[in-house]
Structure 1
Amino acid sequence: MGSFYKDGSTYRYKFIDHAGKTRKLNFGRNKPSSRERGYLDSNVTHLVSCRKNGCLIEPRVQSWLTEIHGSPVAKKLAEWGLIAMPGVSTLGEYLTWLFDQKVNHWKDAEGNAVWSPATERDCIATKNYLIEYFKEGRAIHSITPGDAEEWLQWLRSDATRSNRSAAISKHVKRVRSWFGFAARKKWIQENPFCHLPICTQVDRERILYMSPEEAESVIAHLTCDQHRLFFVLGRFGGLRLPSEVAELRWSHFDFDANTLRIPPAKTKARTMPLWPEIRDYAWSEFMAWQDDCSRADDYVIHRHRTINRDGKSVISNKIVAYMKQAMKLAGLEDFHKPMQNLRTSCENDLRLIVPEGRLTEFMGHTSKVAELHYRKTTKQEFANFASVRRMASEELECPQNSMDHKQDQHGPEMSIHGRENGFQESA
């Protein structure tokens, strides 16, 4: 409990904070009323107790903090660590602060930003949906679980472009994490989004397959060897585009042993066979790199590179735009999510010839991930299944004829019954 006193012509409020330090709030020449003094003393005492004991701030005190937001009193309380950091009380301020921390300050074990540029781009879409519905000036502690449910229903409506279940689940997952952090920091009473359901984040309808013939048609519409190699590494090598290809150097190729070492981008480094489709395009580019004395780097894809915010050399979106344009010219304008579905197409081709254990090692993911995100029955497999069923039906209808037409090493014209008669005559 604090006390009010007059220091000359200035009215002040003095109290002891959670660290045992004496703090003073200056009210100038305006004397607070008896009701205002009691209200301030009660709320500040509650804030000190919560900060000392790690308790949550009561709703009535949260309402008072909303009223004094931006005032000199609120700034002083934030400076002394009794309330949230300055500039994180409203939704817009909190999300701006959180994005700044994730991108510019917080680092992972390797010293990189917690959010990659691609992750930040996806999170911006979620942020925009929050701001569009709740508005920037909405106090974060005033968002209730009921408000969160209404926001979810709004996402599912036709008012947004992201009304697919997989996309909505990703938005909900991000928002639950963001407000969970605010709840752990004691900036809000509870996480209002924690009860929202997270459904499957896989849209099976958007898992597509590009046949080798269609891939050759796309390659024919690519006019640059670098663009062709970029496409082939994704379609016939299954590399993640563009992250793994961006880190690929000529030192990772072993043309004598026919192996290709994939540098770590999303998962750990791995080694896979240098498939013939990749070798044909990579060899010519490798010879061109050896003949070009002006190049100081050994990047496999050296065109359309840029420097990202972490100071790393990455592949720009220009090469992706050229690839999408070639797909459109090849009649594949409906080939959604080309970066992932090229890898999907490679996975579905290789699983027919490579054992499961080796395939997951080459592709850099588990069997569970492959079944959930990559595996898809192709048209050729449907045709093969139908052919096998037709042959099985014919054998069931004519079992005697199918047995008579089987041949062995005794001669192309001798059936099983003929072989038995021959054995009896020789005996």
Structure 2
Amino acid sequence: MASLQKRKSSNGKWLYRIQINYQDDIRPTKSLGRISERDANEIKGHVDHLTDAAKYNTTPPAKTLDWLETEATNDLVNFLARWGFCSPRERSTLDEFISNYIKSRQDASANTIRNFENSRKKLVDYFQADRQLDQINNGDANEWRQSLVNQGLSDATISKAVKHAKQFFRLAKDKGLVRCNPFHHLRAGGEENASRKRFVKRTTVDLAIENAPDIQWKLIIALARYGGLRCPSEILELKWSDIDWENRRIMVSSPKTKRQGKPFREIPLFPELRPLLEHATHLAPESATFVITKYRQRNSNLRSQFKRILKRAGIGPWERLFQNLRASRQTELAKYLPSHVVCAWMGNSETVGSKHYLQVTDDDYERALGAISGAHVKESVQKATLQRTAGKCDESLESQTPERDTTEVAGPLGFSKTGLVPPRGVEPLFSG
């Protein structure tokens, strides 16, 4: 059995502690801190169930087991476990837990793993690798987010890190490693960063393709810009058997959307891609399965190699090198085709497409200015034409209308008006 003890603190608040009658001369005591009398009595009830179960070798009530798993503090659980009334709660360090989670995500794409690692580093750099998960509270989470703001990171980067922190600690809570998710209350915000968007013109892409070292790199650039494929996941998965030359279609395997029940999508064999693919078929060995046979190792850094190609072509690199190639293609197609068709080819939703892919281009401004100028010119021409037409009509009517009498006659209430017929008396129109 257990008993409650209480005393007043210096500010008049009641402090509770629980004492367990373990043996005659041993009475383990644990401070419960400043809590309400109701909460203290509830804890005492659960502890009584645990001590009775240990004494009589029975199973505690389900309600007590649930309390032990989800509501009891780590200090209290560790205290009870130390005296043999329950099992110790599993503990883990921050770096160990997140690293193991990332390793377990075999289904995630390389880009997702890279984003996880970036968020892990932001957490570990601030809290230290050996920080226990259950030692991070809501206030610590607030200060961590503020530290990201102080570093001058973009809203999109902070949002991604916060969402991942919530995800990591939600799993830790499900495993019973923490009582609650200290990051749950944080505002993530949007992940859209308009400043990183860049519409890559065809002339720029064609110059980069021209300076690419081999047909494989030419295809990587073209498939990203003119095919709208994700790089590297979808481009490296493309097989020669996926190309239907007769029907001019390409089957694109998509690891990213596979978890959503969409393992592949079909796109047109766009005319910009066909010459390069045809040339590549003549160079590929008969046994080749994949269109891109080089750069398939996980340590291949396509971004760095692409930057070198751009430098050789005299082109300055832009942010999100491959993402903006793909976004440029979606922006281009959206000007001529319905959005649901374009999104089906790109493998994203209309909401995602409009938020993260579609861009306003220089051509849009020129077209708008041209349309407005053209409308003004057209309106002016129409007005001038109408005026000339109206003038000719008036002249024609005047030449055909007989001369009218403009004699003024008295109108109602003494006002005068121009009479259209000569005034007459009461005599009959015709005299017989």
Quote how far apart the aligned CAs of 1:133 are.
Answer: 1.6
Q: Which residue number in structure 1 is paired with residue 223 of structure 2?
A: 233
- Output aligned runs, 1:155-194, within 5 Å: 155-158=148-151, 163-194=153-184
Are residues 1:98 and 2:140 paired?
Answer: no
Q: Which residue number in structure 2 is paired with residue 146 of structure 1?
A: 139
Aligned 8 A contact 2:89 2:177 in 1: yes
- Output aligned runs, 1:306-321, within 5 Å: 306=297, 317-321=300-304
3-state SS of 2:281 partner: helix
Are residues 1:128 and 2:124 paired?
Answer: no
Are residues 1:119 and 2:109 paired?
Answer: no
Quote how far apart the aligned CAs of 1:97 are.
Answer: 4.0
Distance 1:135 1:402, change over 3 A: farther
Letter aligned with residue 304 of structure 1: Y
Are residues 1:350 and 2:333 paired?
Answer: yes
2: distance between equivalents of 1:138 and 1:50?
34
3-state SS of 1:167 partner: helix
Q: Which residue number in structure 1 is paired with residue 200 of structure 2?
A: 210
Aligned 8 A contact 1:179 1:191 in 2: yes
Aligned 8 A contact 2:216 2:294 in 1: yes
Are residues 1:62 and 2:74 paired?
Answer: yes
Aligned 8 A contact 1:169 1:200 in 2: yes
Picking from 263, 267, 270, the partner of 1:275 is 270
Are residues 1:286 and 2:289 paired?
Answer: no
Distance 1:150 1:256, change over 3 A: same
Quote how far apart the aligned CAs of 1:330 are.
Answer: 3.5
Q: RMSD in angstroms over aligned alpha carbons?
A: 3.6
1: distance between equivalents of 2:61 and 2:192?
42
Quote how far apart the aligned CAs of 1:264 are.
Answer: 3.2
Aligned 8 A contact 1:176 1:191 in 2: yes
Picking from 193, 211, 221, the partner of 1:221 is 211
1: distance between equivalents of 2:101 and 2:343?
36
Number of residue pairs the alignment of both structures matches: 345
2: distance between equivalents of 1:393 and 1:56?
76
Quote how far apart the aligned CAs of 1:381 are.
Answer: 1.4
Quote how far apart the aligned CAs of 1:351 are.
Answer: 1.5
Aligned 8 A contact 1:208 1:336 in 2: yes
Aligned 8 A contact 1:66 1:139 in 2: no
Q: Which residue number in structure 1 is paired with residue 417 of structure 2?
A: none
Are residues 1:297 and 2:288 paired?
Answer: yes
Distance 1:205 1:279, change over 3 A: same
Aligned 8 A contact 1:56 1:186 in 2: no
Normalised TM-score (structure 1): 0.71
Q: Which residue number in structure 2 is paired with residue 390 of structure 1?
A: 373
Aligned 8 A contact 2:109 2:255 in 1: no
Picking from 365, 371, 380, the partner of 2:354 is 371
Quote how far apart the aligned CAs of 1:61 are.
Answer: 5.3
Q: 5+ residue gaps in structure 1?
A: 3-31, 104-112, 309-315, 406-416, 422-427
Quote how far apart the aligned CAs of 1:283 are.
Answer: 0.3
With CA pairs under 8 Å and 6+ residues apart, which has the higher RCO, 1 or 2? 1
Bigger shift: residues 126-135 or 244-253 = 126-135
Quote how far apart the aligned CAs of 1:66 are.
Answer: 7.2
Aligned 8 A contact 1:260 1:274 in 2: yes
1: distance between equivalents of 2:385 and 2:154?
52
1: distance between equivalents of 2:337 and 2:135?
56
Aligned 8 A contact 1:145 1:192 in 2: yes
Q: Which residue number in structure 2 is paired with residue 408 of structure 1?
A: none
| Residues 337-366 of structure 1 deviation map (CA, whole Å, 9 limit, x = unaligned) | 012111011111111222323212221222
Identity %: 24
2: distance between equivalents of 1:226 and 1:402?
60
Picking from 250, 254, 264, the partner of 1:264 is 254
Distance 1:33 1:195, change over 3 A: farther
